[in-house]
């Protein structure tokens, strides 16, 4: 067991915080905790109450940088859904310092953790997601983009008061999937706040991956991806194109029926979040399909294995974070932890969503923010075609034409640099890019923070 002190450690001084000391159960000390590069000595989980009247509190987990944390920026990470936990996914599957082992009995070190480059703040939002909660149960049935953005801003303002050493520090917002809404919307709230504040938040930029961006072009690009990757027939593709509106939040029954037919009858038992990855096999022989994706449970098929990828990581996280000793260590005030179990509830009751985030992109360009968008190219949920179709509507001037970028002398993906925005693909990565291609994702993150184009060799 490793012990982390909240009143010193990486900061070299008093933390002036309400966060408590953290004992992390079952870290593999043989890995080793103090020797392996990138392991933080300062982990702080806690809550910020964003609405005292109803007792609505957001859970966070701060992972300070392993090296020179006082000189490193603050990077806020948000997972999407709506309903996906930033602790279970972002911190435990993707960019955090630890991964959960196959038996959920402990942790091992992630050598590609982003905390080598920055201080990471994982935020669980909105209330009800992960360990975040509200004492008013109806909140789960009355939320949406606007409240999520405003309460995320309220969280950040209070959090910076709690951790004054981060005031004035460069701040970057990052995330994936529906965080394609959360991140730009929070950036928009911060810019509005800064315009009238004596103590502005030093927001410098955003980076989002496989990001939900624009209803029409996302949906059109998704169906096109399915067809171009031979996931659906020519007939089904034509029917979807001719029947579906793509702009509407709620499609016609005929369109919904076509979507269901495509997924139930034509996709087969694949992981939509990485179409070339194997599904997760349970010990009882059944097949677990990630994120409850409306796919039928069928017998396992043989898929090409992806080196280093374990398709069952979501199960490990849900098991681990429901352990009483882990919840005690994290000072969690919520007895049941679900990685994505709230997806259906939140999606059914999400009462407002921006049809397009592109107008906020234009505001961010005008505000001088650094904007990067990346896309794992084997994701079929928010695929690369969806992102390219959406970003094309911005009609940006090209600064550096399309070229392959490299990591360890291998093509990591392709990129193009525009006035105000950098777009990059990650070759062979699914929806959660750092899960599938951790080395490439870390290179992407380094280049983003430095404001430099991705390497050409």
Please state the length of the chain.
457
Q: Which long-range contacts (CB under 8 A, 24 or more apart) does 2-6 make?
A: 2/27, 2/29, 2/33, 4/41, 4/42, 4/43, 5/42, 6/42, 6/44
Point out the residues that are catalytic: 177, 379, 431
Q: Match 């990077």 to its residue by tokens.
A: 75
* Rounded CA separation 252/41 (Å): 53
Helix (H) or strand (E) holding 56: strand 56-63
Give the count of alpha carbons within 13 A of 46, CB side only: 19
Which pair of tokens denotes residue 304?
A: 């090409």
* Rounded CA separation 146/160 (Å): 21
The sign one gets for the Cα dihedral 141, 146, 148, 153 is negative
Question: Which one, of 169, 142, 137, lies nearest residue 156 by Cα?
Answer: 169
The neighbour count for residue 88, using CB atoms within 10 Å, is 28
The neighbour count for residue 366, using CB atoms within 10 Å, is 10
Q: Match 């450690």 to its residue by tokens.
A: 9
Q: 67 near 33, Cβ under 8 Å?
A: no
């Amino acid at each position: 067991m490793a012990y982390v002190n909240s009143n010193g450690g990486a900061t070299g001084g008093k933390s002036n915080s309400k966060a408590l000391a953290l004992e992390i159960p079952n870290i593999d000390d043989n890995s080793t905790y103090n020797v392996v590069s990138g392991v933080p000595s300062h982990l702080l989980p806690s809550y910020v109450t964003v609405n005292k009247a109803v007792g609505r509190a957001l859970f966070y987990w701060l992972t300070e940088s392993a090296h020179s944390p006082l000189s490193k920026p603050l990077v806020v990470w948000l997972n999407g859904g709506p309903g996906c936990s930033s602790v279970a996914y972002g911190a435990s599957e993707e960019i955090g310092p630890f991964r959960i082992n196959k038996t959920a009995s402990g942790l091992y070190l992630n050598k590609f953790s982003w905390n080598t480059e920055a201080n990471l703040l994982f935020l669980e939002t909105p209330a009800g997601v992960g360990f975040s909660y509200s004492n008013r149960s109806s909140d789960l049935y009355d939320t949406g983009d606007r409240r999520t953005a405003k309460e995320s801003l309220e969280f950040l303002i209070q959090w910076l008061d709690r951790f004054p050493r981060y005031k004035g520090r460069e701040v970057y917002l990052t995330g994936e999937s529906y965080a394609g809404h959360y991140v730009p919307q929070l950036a928009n709230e911060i810019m509005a706040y800064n315009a009238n504040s004596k103590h502005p938040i030093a927001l410098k930029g955003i980076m989002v991956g496989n990001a939900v961006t624009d209803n029409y072009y996302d949906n059109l690009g998704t169906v096109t991806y399915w067809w171009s990757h031979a996931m659906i027939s020519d007939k089904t593709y034509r029917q979807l194109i001719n029947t579906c509106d793509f702009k509407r939040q709620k499609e016609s029954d005929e369109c919904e029926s076509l979507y269901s037919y495509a997924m139930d009858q034509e996709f087969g038992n694949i992981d939509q979040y990485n179409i070339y990855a194997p599904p997760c096999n349970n010990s009882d022989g059944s097949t677990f399909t990630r994120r409850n994706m409306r796919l039928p449970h069928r017998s396992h098929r043989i898929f090409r294995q992806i080196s280093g990828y374990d398709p069952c990581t979501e199960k490990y996280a849900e098991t681990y974070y429901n352990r009483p000793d882990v919840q005690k260590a994290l000072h969690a005030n919520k007895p049941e932890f679900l990685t994505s179990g709230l997806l259906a509830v939140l999606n059914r009751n999400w009462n407002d969503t921006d049809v397009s985030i592109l107008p906020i992109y234009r505001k961010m360009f005008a505000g001088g923010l650094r904007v990067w968008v990346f896309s794992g190219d084997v994701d079929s949920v928010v695929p690369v075609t969806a992102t390219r179709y959406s970003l094309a509507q911005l009609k940006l001037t090209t600064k550096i034409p399309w070229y392959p970028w490299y990591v360890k002398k291998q093509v990591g993906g392709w990129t193009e640099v525009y006035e105000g925005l950098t777009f990059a693909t990650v070759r062979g990565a699914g929806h959660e890019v750092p899960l599938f291609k951790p080395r490439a994702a870390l290179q992407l993150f380094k280049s983003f923070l430095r404001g430099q184009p991705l390497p050409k060799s």
